[in-house]
Structure 1
Amino acid sequence: MSSCRYGCHSTQSKGDTVSRQRQLGVVIRAARCARRMTQAQLGRACGYSASAISRVEAGVLRPTEQALLRIAQALDLPLDAIGLGRPATLAQDVTPDQEDAMLRRQLLVAGMAAAGASMLSSASAAAARPDASARIVGALYEPEPSEPTSLQQLKASLISARAQFTAARYRHLGDFLPGLLGSAQATREALSGRSREEAHGCVARAWVLATELALKAHSDVAWPAADRALAAAQASGDPVAHGEAARVLAITMRRSGRPAAAVDLLRRTADSLSQDRNDVSWAVAATLLMTSAYTAACGQRRGDALDLMSGAADAVGRVTSARFRPSTPLFTVDATSAQVDLYWIGVHTALGTPDEGVPYAARIAPGQLPTAERRARYGTDCARMWHHLGDHRKTFASLRFTEQVAPEEVRRPALRALTADLLYAPVTVAGVRELAARTGVS
């Protein structure tokens, strides 16, 4: 067994050791995400590189006891959550199933404790509660005991959850999701045949929402949530649910530094959906192409990004023509010309040509965007565009617009970073300090 300069050992192929190390990695990742730390931040706190932390979380490197102590200290984790101070969890007479159950419980406790410690509340400490990422960790590893319900009731609950998301009421959605996920999965297990396939689709969409929520928080919990969504969508046999799940999975891939693989996944799924002469399938394919274009732009693949956006615009044109009009809304995104313009802003900003996004921003009337979440996205993308152009006042105006239409959006990590940049910029903009105070930046 070889060691690295970070005080970690390379893993061997023994099944029980590898399984234990992977579980340990999950615990560390969940606690880090709950505290809203990046791998680089945790690495700096422990004296490691971001790459070393990534390999520990993936179960590829096994930290020494001394290294684990430093990680536990940085994440404020109890020692038993990482296998220290509780020798019984590693004893020979504990079965693998028992060990997995204990580790899952430790994961939940660690994630919830870290989340609670990292909460920022502008009202009072008494108002602090676990954030959405910690709630999703609980739904993944310690689901709430739930009773099955009817498919009709389950679909009504999904509509209610979707309304919370599109209204940008993320804290309410985080409170609601664990119960919805438990109910959806219990209902699926109680059904068979075609009804079970429909329930798979409901489970998939519940996990799509969970992934969307985790992505809003820039949390790595999005990975397992997106995986659950895709598995349920595939079991449902519904190509539209499959497309929705593929979209959120691709976003997690892009966020983890794999834009090329994400573009390939989105293209394949969009091509498959385009084969169906179905207005809703075409609409989902259009949204996948837009997401793919933005992903290509993030990877600095300018030609691909522009081609994909042109394809998305053509697909939206077909959807909104007199002949093709979606009879039901997409689950989290709409395929409209205003949506295409919105994506053009993000694509040009990602490509480093934000000036080319200005005309698209100018021709969007925010009222054209159908939900508070989409209007907030407009404000966010404009803020990023103006920030890249060096216009601090317009950046602040866009952030204030976002706060007005969706107050929870400006507390997202990406927008708080923009606010911090404005706060410490050489140009003083009236109102920035107050915004920073409201959003916990200062």
Structure 2
Amino acid sequence: MSVNTTTAPPASDLGTLIRGRRNARRPKMTQAQLAAIVGYSTSWVCRVEAGEIVPPWEVLARIAAALDIPPDDLITAAHPPGRDPAPDPRSPGSGGTMAATVATGDHEIQEEDAVRRRGFLTGAAGLGAAVVTGAPATATGRPSADVGTWLETGLFHPPATGPVPLGQLDRALRRARADFRHARYHTLGAELPLLLAAADATRDHLTGHAREHASALAAYAYSLTGELASKMHSETVWVAADRAIAAARASGRPAPLGEATRMLSVAMRRAGRHHQAADLLVRTSHQLADDPTEQARAARAAIDLTAGYTMAHYGDRGGALDMVDEAEALGHRINYRQGMGQVIIRATREQCEGFRLSIYNRLGAPDDAVPVIRRINPNTFPTAERRARYHTDAARIWHQLGDGPRTFAALRAIEHEAPEEARRPSVKALTTDLLYSSTTLPGLREFATRTGVHG
């Protein structure tokens, strides 16, 4: 196979710095873990540390945030004084993006797309590296890599930026959704402040139908922020849901309003207002029933699935399962391969089965859940986030049944599918329960250390 190469300047100092800080982390961060955070492959990180690749400044900023290195230190290591600066990967004649340094087929094309994702709004924003990461400076001037901090930054202290073309905003939002689906929560958190700021600036700049379109995109962006806040058990879910509702109403479109309403119900459910959340969802589903568009049907199906899970919180088994059946019937009428880029929950057969499993788990009915576990093939779930959710439910079911080995096997499956899911508060609590049980499981203590549980 022929290889098209662009010579990269030596980067031994850069590679040494990254490798040293990665190994110095406690617990030690692996190349695979760093790759997951910055959105690249393990082999790509290996090549950076070997001095074969010099990332562009946008990616250097993300590596700095992940390893708590001052961005200036990384940039200086990558481009020491006296060396010709690296070409701008976005400029004509530069040979494409940084990923074209060694172009070897589809693998590198995927990494090239990742570079585009990391810098999706930087040209319009004209911001420095600290703002591109979405991370505010700490007292030491170093960016924080905490998802909760990024959520607060995006909602309360957004960076200053201007409007961007609607098509560019739409593509950025779809890529952010992809980060969520693949459980790249640190990457998503770092992108959200700039995404939200650009969405608001774009909406405020426009009028007429263009403003309605921008409002719909802003609604989806705030709903996605709420999804991440819910994953992190952050109280900012309320703020994100409220802003999503306001933007969705301004759009005048039912689909983003349905998604925003679903997000608001999640905030209500987490506050213990289960009946009110279910009533809100059912009313909204009925309102969307008159809209014949595919987007509205998809939003309604997602609402029905969330309503079913919400009803399980107050023990309404029949109502919960009926809502899943209704969503599955709707799902048969939806072509999710066309124009469904903004839909997080999809009422496919396997995902409806996943919600039945979640419902039995919430109802405390592990005996009913076991047959569902066994008839689901987790590989049929299209995203890492959904596969991790299945394994999380399975772990909880086996834990309820007192089966330590199967509980631990499910926890390890979560880490395999989506390492950041294994570090979520609810999963860490399950790991802690297992760690302090009377069951002795080889490898459990090491797993607990890797996932941030200190026993």
1:218 aligns to 2:233 (yes or no): yes
1:246 aligns to 2:261 (yes or no): yes
In structure 2, the partner of 1:411 is 423
Residues 326, 300 of structure 1: alpha-carbon distance in 2 compared, 3 angstrom cutoff: farther
- 1:309 offset after TM fit, Å? 2.2
Residues 220, 139 of structure 1: alpha-carbon distance in 2 compared, 3 angstrom cutoff: same
Counterpart amino acid of residue 213 in structure 2: E
**Per-residue Cα deviation, 1:153-182 (whole angstroms, up to 9, x for no partner):** 111111111111111100011110000111
In structure 1, the partner of 2:244 is 229
**Per-residue Cα deviation, 1:53-74 (whole angstroms, up to 9, x for no partner):** xxxxxxxxxxxxxxxxxxxxxx
Question: Distance between the aligned counterparts of 2:442 and 2:142, measured in 1?
Answer: 29
2:210 to 195, 203, 206: 195
Aligned counterparts, 1:371-410, within 5 A: 371-410=383-422
Residues 137, 327 of structure 1: alpha-carbon distance in 2 compared, 3 angstrom cutoff: closer
In structure 2, the partner of 1:299 is 314
**Per-residue Cα deviation, 1:301-350 (whole angstroms, up to 9, x for no partner):** 22321222222232223336xxx975434421222000000000010111
1:331 aligns to 2:331 (yes or no): no
2:156 to 130, 141, 145: 141
1:354 aligns to 2:366 (yes or no): yes
Question: Distance between the aligned counterparts of 1:377 and 1:406, measured in 2?
Answer: 10
Aligned counterparts, 1:245-264, within 5 A: 245-264=260-279
Residues 219, 435 of structure 1: alpha-carbon distance in 2 compared, 3 angstrom cutoff: same
1:276 aligns to 2:291 (yes or no): yes
Counterpart amino acid of residue 234 in structure 1: R
Contact kept in structure 1, 2:281 and 2:304, CA below 8 Å: yes
In structure 2, the partner of 1:85 is none
- Percent identity of the aligned residues? 45
TM-score by length of 1: 0.69
Contact kept in structure 1, 2:177 and 2:342, CA below 8 Å: no
Residues 127, 396 of structure 1: alpha-carbon distance in 2 compared, 3 angstrom cutoff: farther
- 1:263 offset after TM fit, Å? 0.4
**Per-residue Cα deviation, 1:163-219 (whole angstroms, up to 9, x for no partner):** 111111000111100001111111111100000000001111111111111111111
Question: Distance between the aligned counterparts of 1:198 and 1:335, measured in 2?
Answer: 25
2:220 to 202, 205, 208: 205
- 1:274 offset after TM fit, Å? 2.1
Indicate the structure with greater helix content.
1
Say which SS state the counterpart of residue 318 (structure 1) adopts: coil
In structure 1, the partner of 2:84 is none
- 1:381 offset after TM fit, Å? 1.2
Counterpart amino acid of residue 205 in structure 1: Y
**Per-residue Cα deviation, 1:276-321 (whole angstroms, up to 9, x for no partner):** 222332222111111111111012222321222222232223336x
2:382 to 362, 365, 370: 370
1:434 aligns to 2:441 (yes or no): no
Counterpart amino acid of residue 338 in structure 1: E
Aligned counterparts, 1:175-190, within 5 A: 175-190=190-205
Alpha-carbon RMSD: 2.2
TM-score by length of 2: 0.67
In structure 1, the partner of 2:22 is none
Residues 326, 154 of structure 1: alpha-carbon distance in 2 compared, 3 angstrom cutoff: closer
Question: Distance between the aligned counterparts of 1:127 and 1:389, measured in 2?
Answer: 46
Question: Distance between the aligned counterparts of 2:141 and 2:434, measured in 1?
Answer: 30
Contact kept in structure 1, 2:321 and 2:356, CA below 8 Å: no
Contact kept in structure 2, 1:250 and 1:263, CA below 8 Å: yes
Question: Distance between the aligned counterparts of 2:230 and 2:314, measured in 1?
Answer: 18
Residues 127, 427 of structure 1: alpha-carbon distance in 2 compared, 3 angstrom cutoff: farther
Task: Number of aligned residue pairs: give it.
Answer: 320
In structure 2, the partner of 1:171 is 186
